[in-house]
Amino acid sequence: MCEWHSHIHTFIIHTFILYFDYPKPNVMENPRDEQLWQTAKKRASFQRSLVLYFIINAFLWIIWWFTLGKYHRAELIPWPLWCMMGWGIGLVFQYLNAYGGAKKDLIEKEYEKLKRQNKS
């Protein structure tokens, strides 16, 4: 294994630990609304994913530039663009899940709407 590969591997592992190894509070000491806690976890997860998206994709573009980018022909699509698009689609769905309203919330809203219609 070459030296730069070892550095890349170490960087990715440390980034993973930094962003995904968050402390879990003691439930007995800190009572909370479970639904709000789940929403907070989804949003924190999205924010970590977004940071990793930018860090790793910047790294991929740097690799592309130093390997092929200098000699890039205009008719070819750079390969990091495919990575960004695929991962970006996943991030859109993760954002919608975290900030766009959970499925339970939508079900509860629809249920309340139907209840109001039946009373009329």
pLDDT digits (tens, 9 = 90+) for 8-64: 666 666 566 555 555 555 545 566 788 889 889 999 999 999 999 999 999 999 998
- Is residue 91 situated within a structural domain? yes
- Is residue 76 situated within a structural domain? yes
- Is residue 110 situated within a structural domain? yes
Q: What is the maximum span of the chain, computed from C-alpha positions, in angstroms?
A: 73
- Is residue 85 situated within a structural domain? yes
C-alpha–C-alpha distance, residues 57 and 49, integer Å: 12
pTM over 0.95: no
For residue 30, the 8-state DSSP code is S
- Is residue 78 situated within a structural domain? yes
**Top-confidence range, 31-35, 73-77, 112-116:** 112-116
- Is residue 27 situated within a structural domain? no
Exposure string over 74-99, b if 16+ CB within 10 A, otherwise e: eeeeeebeebbeebeeebeebbebbe
- Is residue 30 situated within a structural domain? no
